Amino acid sequence: MGSMKLSSKPDAFTRRGQAWYCTTGLPSDVLVEVGEMSFHLHKFPLLSKSAILGRLIEENSDSDECVIKLSDIPGGAKSFELVARFCYGLKIELSSENVVYLRCAAEHLEMTEETSGDNLINQTESFFNQVVLRSWKDSLEALRTCDGLLPHAEDLHIVKRCIESLAGKASIDPDLFGWPVSEHSTMQSPGGSVLWNGISTGAKVRNCSSDWWYDDASSLSFPTYKRLISSMESRGIKQEIIAGSLTYYAKKFLPGLNRRQSTGPMPLPAATLSDEEQRRLLEEIDRMLPLQRGLISTNVLLWLLRTAMILKVDRACISNLEKRVGMQLDEATLEDLLLPNFSYTMDTLYNVECVHRILDHFLAMDQTMGGGGASPCLDDVMASPSLAPITAVAKLIDGYLAEIAPDINLKPLKFQSLAAALPEYARPLDDGLYRAIDVYLKSHPTLPEAEREQLCRLIDCQKLSLEACTHAAQNERLPLRVVVQVLFFEQLQLRTSVAGCLLVSDNLEASSRTLRGGGAVAASGEAGCWATAAVRENQALRVGMDSMRLRLMELERECSDMRQDIRKLGRGRRRLRGGGGIVAGGKDGGGWAARVQRMLTPRMMKLQMCSAQHDAAEQQRMNNEHKKVEKVAKNKKQLSMDDGDDKEEA
């Protein structure tokens, strides 16, 4: 830090308790009282430098003891001690820590050039302009001292000049010079090494990023910091840099954010602020943050939202934070999205309503950006980059539903509303949704059958994977209607797979007949042997396909028998109800469900065994086809070589 000595005389001031004495050998003739501190001084040095002190001494000249009270001097006793030393010409050193005190006190005491040449106002002003404002650290330290000297420092434009100096230095891109315009770096040679007295030392300077001033700026009081940020914005500094500084400031003064500190070598020490001060700070930071996607990470925004709920900030602030999170919900993680419920009026463990509002903001933005319209097909969803965010959000919401499902106080309507908020094309597969609903049904065993069916209607059985279908077919918690639908669509998938296998087999047989009928194949003994082997393999594959058809027909008969059994059981149950059956409804319903389960279990096992056999046959078929294609290619190559030899012999 810069400094300047104003005099070289030895110190002649001594302190005794709450009093200062000037030990020049002459008895003091004036007593100056500044607050609780007393200064025993002499009249001439004071009136020769200060017009105000000269008038006060003249007004008290008639009294036996000249007593002057200075209760409103800027900086109090600390400032007047320095002023008194200056008046006596004693050794005093100007620095960024005391120059603002001396400048305000000198202005208050009218220590101008008319009273004495090279007076205190002129010297402090010169030091401030030529030394303090040229240095980042000195300007920062001087700006800190202004908080205790308001409004005097404001009237003298000291605060404004310090802020403009800091804003100008922080707004300069360090990449333009390779080092920031501040004391955070040293001069360097064109080769990049550090210079000492113009001589290269060989040491390399460290690269400096655009956030080098964040920690220094966070040491300012928030009103001063706010003015600094406003000045930087007026100079056109990038919005992401402003947002980064605001995030750093929030992490330092809001203790809840320190737990998720993800940047920097170590956590920031949280300052001590009351709840009311933290509440006002968070509301101000929310107003200052630019409303733009990607400026602040989603996890930081969610933790700001969590802190806002804890501090019970204004509803408008919470709504703004929810919108900010909704704009980039696809970048959130499940851990950060689990916002606890801090309200005593709500009985759920997590704040589901808040997450629902965040999802609504995301969907509204997705519609605005052109993500809405007709539902695309599955291939479009998997391939389109524009649909990647909404598919990521669907996966996140399904995971969130599975996490909150065990909450016994979570109502089915609230669970269903959040699950149904996403459009149909957002989920390429419904496995995540099926898992969440299954967890909810398991955690709520007393849920009525009608509400179970209502929840299961959210699942599209055609969008379940084979593993999910296998699990659902054996899931006793699902309604019978859903199990039948799963089995039906699984059967359709099997029929489609078998039809594809048969089509490939027919194509291979046709190609083998073409090879057998060609004259070139007959000309080669080795090719003829291969063709015979291929015919045999084709015949064996044909037999396997016929057996697969028989198994498929058996599956269809099983499904048909199952439908008939279900219809008979339904008619029998309606007759019992119509005849006023004496068996209790619960007992009868339980027996009916048990009978259905006993009848369905062996058929379901057969379906699974057939599915497993089909998978094994499918794998074997694919291996055989691969070998056949390789043999065909090799045989064609050999035939072409034989034809060439025959032509040469001819």
Q: What is the pLDDT of residues 473-503, one digit of tens each?
A: 888 888 877 788 777 776 766 666 666 665 6
Q: Mean pLDDT lowest for which of 336-345, 535-544, 566-575, 599-608?
A: 599-608
Is a pLDDT exceeding 90 seen at residue 402? Answer: yes
Of 87, 105, 134, the last residue of a domain is 134
Distance separating alpha carbons of residues 80 and 106, to the nearest angstrom: 9
Whether the Cβ atoms of residue 135 and residue 3 lie closer than 8 Å to each other: no
Beta strand 66-69 with 19-22 is unpaired
Whether the Cβ atoms of residue 76 and residue 58 lie closer than 8 Å to each other: no
Kindly give, in sequence order, each residue whose CB lies less than 8 Å from that of residue 466, ignoring residues fewer than 6 positions away: 490, 493
Distance separating alpha carbons of residues 169 and 620, to the nearest angstrom: 72
CATH at 71: 3.30.710.10
Q: Return phi, psi of residue 65, to 5°.
A: -125, 120
Q: Is 344 left (phi over 0), alpha (psi -120 to 50) or beta?
A: alpha
Reference 335, options 400, 423, 416; nearest CA is 400
- The number of folded domains in the chain is 2
Distance separating alpha carbons of residues 411 and 398, to the nearest angstrom: 17
Helix (H, G, I), strand (E, B) or coil at 33: strand
Whether the Cβ atoms of residue 270 and residue 249 lie closer than 8 Å to each other: no
Q: Return phi, psi of residue 323, to 5°.
A: -65, -40
Confidence of residue 521 (pLDDT cuts 50, 70, 90): very low
Please count the other Cβ atoms lying within 10 Å of the Cβ belonging to residue 403.
Answer: 17
To the nearest whole percent, how much of the chain has pLDDT over 90? 40
Of 435, 465, 495, the last residue of a domain is 465
Burial 335-368 (b: 16+ CB within 10 A, else e): ebbbbebeeeeeebbbbbbbbebbbebbbebbee
Residues in the chain: 650
Residue 111 domain flag: yes
Please count the other Cβ atoms lying within 10 Å of the Cβ belonging to residue 109.
Answer: 27
Is a pLDDT exceeding 90 seen at residue 121? Answer: yes
Higher pLDDT residue, 492 or 186? 492
Distance separating alpha carbons of residues 381 and 390, to the nearest angstrom: 10
H/E stretch holding 257 = helix 255-258
Cα 224 from chain centre: 28
What does 48-85 look like in DSSP terms, one character per residue? TT-HHHHHHHHHTTTSSSEEEE-SS-TTHHHHHHHHHH
Residue 240: exposed, middle, or buried by beta-carbon count in 10 A (0-12, 13-18, 19+)? middle
- 385 preceded by a cis bond (ω within 30 of 0): no
Is a pLDDT exceeding 80 seen at residue 290? Answer: yes
Residue 56 domain flag: yes
Confidence of residue 367 (pLDDT cuts 50, 70, 90): confident
Please count the other Cβ atoms lying within 10 Å of the Cβ belonging to residue 224.
Answer: 20
Amino acid identity at 255: P
Distance separating alpha carbons of residues 570 and 560, to the nearest angstrom: 15
Count of CA atoms in the C-beta half-sphere (13 A) of 193:
10
Reference 233, options 173, 143, 283, 170; nearest CA is 170
Reference 566, options 555, 558, 577; nearest CA is 558
**Averaged pLDDT score across all residues of the chain:** 77
Q: Mean pLDDT lowest for which of 45-49, 60-64, 354-358, 481-485?
A: 60-64
Question: Residues 50-72: what's their mean pLDDT?
Answer: 86
Is a pLDDT exceeding 50 seen at residue 2? Answer: yes
Higher pLDDT residue, 83 or 202? 83
Is a pLDDT exceeding 70 seen at residue 299? Answer: yes
Reference 89, options 34, 11, 16; nearest CA is 11
Beta strand 30-34 with 19-22 is unpaired
Is a pLDDT exceeding 60 seen at residue 378? Answer: no
Higher pLDDT residue, 263 or 410? 410
Q: Mean pLDDT lowest for which of 54-63, 65-74, 475-484, 531-540?
A: 531-540
Question: Residues 220-224: what's their mean pLDDT?
Answer: 94
Q: Return phi, psi of residue 462, to 5°.
A: -75, -15
Residue 123 domain flag: yes
Amino acid identity at 185: S
Predicted local distance difference test score (pLDDT) of residue 468: 84
Is a pLDDT exceeding 90 seen at residue 287? Answer: yes
Is a pLDDT exceeding 60 seen at residue 156? Answer: yes
Kindly give, in sequence order, each residue whose CB lies less than 8 Å from that of residue 235, ignoring residues fewer than 6 positions away: 167, 168, 171
Cα angle for residues 451, 457, 463 (degrees, 5° grid): 145
Residue 165 domain flag: no
Confidence of residue 466 (pLDDT cuts 50, 70, 90): confident
pLDDT in tens, 592-620: 444 445 545 554 555 455 555 555 555 66
Predicted local distance difference test score (pLDDT) of residue 519: 45
Please count the other Cβ atoms lying within 10 Å of the Cβ belonging to residue 67.
Answer: 12
Predicted local distance difference test score (pLDDT) of residue 342: 79
Question: Residues 39-68: what's their mean pLDDT?
Answer: 87
Predicted local distance difference test score (pLDDT) of residue 590: 46
Is a pLDDT exceeding 60 seen at residue 179? Answer: no
Kindly give, in sequence order, each residue whose CB lies less than 8 Å from that of residue 140, ignoring residues fewer than 6 positions away: 162, 166, 216, 219, 220
Question: Residues 454-469: what's their mean pLDDT?
Answer: 86
Confidence of residue 177 (pLDDT cuts 50, 70, 90): very low
Helix (H, G, I), strand (E, B) or coil at 90: strand
Residue 634 domain flag: no
Higher pLDDT residue, 63 or 86? 86
* First-residue to last-residue Cα distance in the chain: 102
Is a pLDDT exceeding 50 seen at residue 285? Answer: yes
Residue found under tokens 């939202």: 305
Whether the Cβ atoms of residue 54 and residue 47 lie closer than 8 Å to each other: yes
Predicted local distance difference test score (pLDDT) of residue 433: 93
Report which DSSP code applies to 517: H
Residue 67 domain flag: yes
Confidence of residue 384 (pLDDT cuts 50, 70, 90): very low
Distance separating alpha carbons of residues 586 and 446, to the nearest angstrom: 13
Distance separating alpha carbons of residues 307 and 254, to the nearest angstrom: 8
Q: Is 64 left (phi over 0), alpha (psi -120 to 50) or beta?
A: alpha
Is a pLDDT exceeding 80 seen at residue 577? Answer: no
Residue 94 domain flag: yes
Positive or negative, the CA dihedral 242, 248, 253, 257 is positive
H/E stretch holding 184 = none
Question: Residues 617-639: what's their mean pLDDT?
Answer: 59
Predicted local distance difference test score (pLDDT) of residue 133: 94
Confidence of residue 321 (pLDDT cuts 50, 70, 90): very high
Q: Mean pLDDT lowest for which of 55-69, 383-397, 508-522?
A: 508-522
Residue 272 domain flag: no
Is a pLDDT exceeding 60 seen at residue 192? Answer: no
What does 200-223 look like in DSSP terms, one character per residue? EEEEEPPP--TTTTHHHHTTS-HH
Reference 466, options 284, 618, 317, 293; nearest CA is 618
Predicted local distance difference test score (pLDDT) of residue 622: 60
Q: What is the pTM of this model?
A: 0.68
Question: Residues 426-445: what's their mean pLDDT?
Answer: 92
Predicted local distance difference test score (pLDDT) of residue 614: 53
Question: Residues 383-402: what's their mean pLDDT?
Answer: 85
Whether the Cβ atoms of residue 240 and residue 295 lie closer than 8 Å to each other: yes
Of 134, 166, 189, the last residue of a domain is 134
Both tokens of 604, joined, read: 């379901």
Task: Give whichever of 202-206, 401-405, 457-461, 540-544 has the largest mean pLDDT.
Answer: 401-405
Question: Residues 261-267: what's their mean pLDDT?
Answer: 42
H/E stretch holding 317 = helix 315-327
What does 284-307 look like in DSSP terms, one character per residue? HHHHHS---TTSS-HHHHHHHHHH
Predicted local distance difference test score (pLDDT) of residue 569: 67
Higher pLDDT residue, 451 or 555? 451
Reference 28, options 36, 20, 16; nearest CA is 20
- Residue 99: which domain range? 3-134
Residue found under tokens 């039809």: 499
Distance separating alpha carbons of residues 606 and 600, to the nearest angstrom: 10
